[in-house]
Amino acid sequence: MTGNVSAVGQNGQDPVTGVLLVDKPVGRSSFAVVKKVRWLLGIKKVGHAGTLDPFASGLLIICVGRPATREIDAFMVGRKTYQAELQLGKETETQDPEGEVTSVRPVPLLSVEDITGVTKKFVGPQMQAPPPYSAAKHKGKPLYHYARQGIMIKKEAKPIEIFSLQVDGYDPASEQLTITVTCSKGTYIRVLAADIGEKLGCGAYLTALRRTRSGGFSVDEAIDGEGLFRSDCSKDSGYDVGSDLLMSKMRTVEQALEKHAKHSIQDNA
């Protein structure tokens, strides 16, 4: 995952600063959420601490104002928890629903116990390389820039850790598997999904992803991101309501850092 900072020219000053938690809806990019927040608040600097792809949903930590955006790297550190859905028996070029299907294989008869026997082997420290369709950089450009041109860049694997991996359910009829994963920063769940599929002998790709926790923050505390994009959330109708809601939910940078740090200490205890 990568952070992002965007600027918009207003009066050259940040009227307010703080941290917002937003539940990003499916179909919206992380940048679209950032853009909406900066427009509603008129803040020069707004960024997020960890990208979610458009097909994914869940917790985005939004940093508002320069004092907050300077702390993006700090907020990106910490354990993340995801709920993921895998389609067994198929693979796509992007390892997610946004790519073309490249392989179809029969799925063996599997029980939850069979699947758990495989998934538990992924728990622990390991090395993982960023996928070609990712925001990881190569010569200043994201890997997906090259991949879309048919150039697949292979980056060196980096250390990550899967702290827990729970099988939530498996539907033999649809051959869909649901899991909950708690992992370190820099973990690509789509790569994990593909690796699980390979170990099961049938291949798999990620069909849905939801981030429920990041460091000390939970999506249960977040603002409904879809509400930011309602037609009545505009300068002519509802602009003040939109900005007032954001202001009422904003934490100070100090409060957010303290909670995040406290949770990180508990994780490492």
Whole-angstrom Cα distance, residue 205 to residue 101?
Answer: 9
User: Based on the number of CB atoms within 10 Å of its own CB, is 217 exposed (0-12), middle (13-18) or buried (19 or more)?
Assistant: buried
Q: What DSSP element (H or E) covers 14?
A: none
- Would residue 236 show up in a list of annotated catalytic residues for this protein? no
Tokens describing residue 127: 């090395």
For residue 3, the number of C-alpha atoms closer than 13 Å in the C-beta half-sphere is 19
Catalytic residue selected from 14, 23, 53, 96: 53
- Mention every residue, 6+ apart, whose C-beta is less than 8 A from residue 79: 163, 182, 183, 184, 213, 214, 215, 267
Whole-angstrom Cα distance, residue 226 to residue 119?
Answer: 33
User: Based on the number of CB atoms within 10 Å of its own CB, is 220 exposed (0-12), middle (13-18) or buried (19 or more)?
Assistant: exposed
The closest of 216, 213, 211, 223 to 248, measured between CA atoms, is 223
Q: What is the phi-psi region of residue 238: left when phi exceeds 0, alpha when psi lies from -120 to 50, beta otherwise?
A: left
- Catalytic annotation, residues: 53
